[in-house]
Amino acid sequence: MVGPQKRSGFSQGIMDISSTKKEALGTLRVLHDGRKFRYAYAGATALNAGKLGLAAAIPTNLTNVAVTNAQAIGDYNVELTISAAAGNAMPAGALQGGFLVVNDSTGEGYQYPIESNSEITSTSTTVNITLGEPIKVALVASTSEVTLCHCPWGGSGVVESGTEENAPAGVAPCAVTANYYYWAQTGGIATVLNGESHSYKGTMLCPHSTEGAVGITSNYSSGTSIAFTPVGYVYGCAMVSGEYRPIMLTID
C-alpha cells in the first residue's frame, strides 16, 4: 500500500484522536521500535482499542459514473453527477490519497491521484474532485465513466466488520470516536483480539468472522464472507480465543 511518509513534525500523537484532519490520509509513520502506523479516519461506528479495522467499500454511487462535463487535457478539476445514497456520507477531503479511475469509454485505463473532494452527504447529487495530476486523455461528457477509489484509510471510514470483504486497514491503538481521525497500526508487534485459540507460532493470520479479531485461514468455511488478506502472524505466544495477544502485523 502506498501513501505519503513523514519522519518528523507530526501534528497528532499516536495515542491521540482528533475531530479534525491533521495529516494527509494514509501518511505512513514509523516509530523507533519499528512499529508502523497510517493516518486514518474512523467510520460511523466507534473503534475499540486492539481491534482490527477494515477499509470501507467504495459506495456504488461513486462507481461507473459518467462525467458531467467534457474534461480537456490538462484539467485538474472534475465534476460528477451522482445519485443520492443513504449511508454513503464522506467529509470533504475523504478521497485524498485515492484515485479517479476511468473505467469505461474515452480515456479508459487511466487513473489520476485525488488531492481533495467536496463533502458528500446522503442527499448529495454532485461531487467535485481536484486531481493531483492533469487529465492526459480528454474525457467526454456523459460518455466517459469513472470510479472514485479512496485510500484504505479514508472514504466513509474504517470499520470493524466480521463480513465485509475488503482490505485490512490496521489496528486501533486506543478507543476511537466515530468520525474521528487516528493512527492505525499496520506493522510491528501489536496487541490484537484473537478470534480463536491457536498454539503454532508463525502461523499466518487474517481477518476473523468475529468483528475486529484475527484468526487463521484454515478455520474458514467456503461460505464465510471474509477477506483472506493476510494481516500478520502469530508471535511469541499462543493465541487464546476472546483474549488480546501480541501478533506481528505485516500490513505494511
Nearest C-alpha neighbor of 158 from the set 251, 64, 237, 63: 251
Predicted confidence at residue 164, as pLDDT, reads 61
Predicted confidence at residue 199, as pLDDT, reads 84
Q: What are the two backbone dihedrals, phi and then psi, of residue 37, each rounded to the nearest 5 degrees? A: -135, 150
User: What string of H, E and C letters represents the secondary structure of 126-169?
Assistant: EEEEEECCCCCCCECCCCCEEEEECCCCCCCCEECCCCCCCCEE
Predicted confidence at residue 219, as pLDDT, reads 52
What single DSSP character describes residue 60?
Answer: G
Contact 245, 192 (CB under 8 A): yes
Contact 43, 160 (CB under 8 A): no
Predicted confidence at residue 222, as pLDDT, reads 46
Give Cβ neighbours of residue 109 (< 8 Å, ≥ 6 apart): 102
Give Cβ neighbours of residue 121 (< 8 Å, ≥ 6 apart): 89
What single DSSP character describes residue 124?
Answer: -
Domain residue ranges of the chain, discontinuous segments joined by +: 28-53+170-250, 60-149
**SS3 state at 197:** coil
Bridge-based pairing state of the strands 214-215 and 99-104: unpaired
Contact 150, 137 (CB under 8 A): no
pTM of the predicted model as reported, rounded to 2 decimal places? 0.90
Residues of the chain with pLDDT under 70: 1-3, 5-7, 164-165, 217-228
Q: What are the two backbone dihedrals, phi and then psi, of residue 47, each rounded to the nearest 5 degrees? A: -105, 150
**Cα gap 53→41, rounded to integer Å:** 11
Per-residue pLDDT tens digits for 29-72: 999 999 999 999 999 999 999 999 999 999 999 999 999 999 99
Cell of 39: 493516518
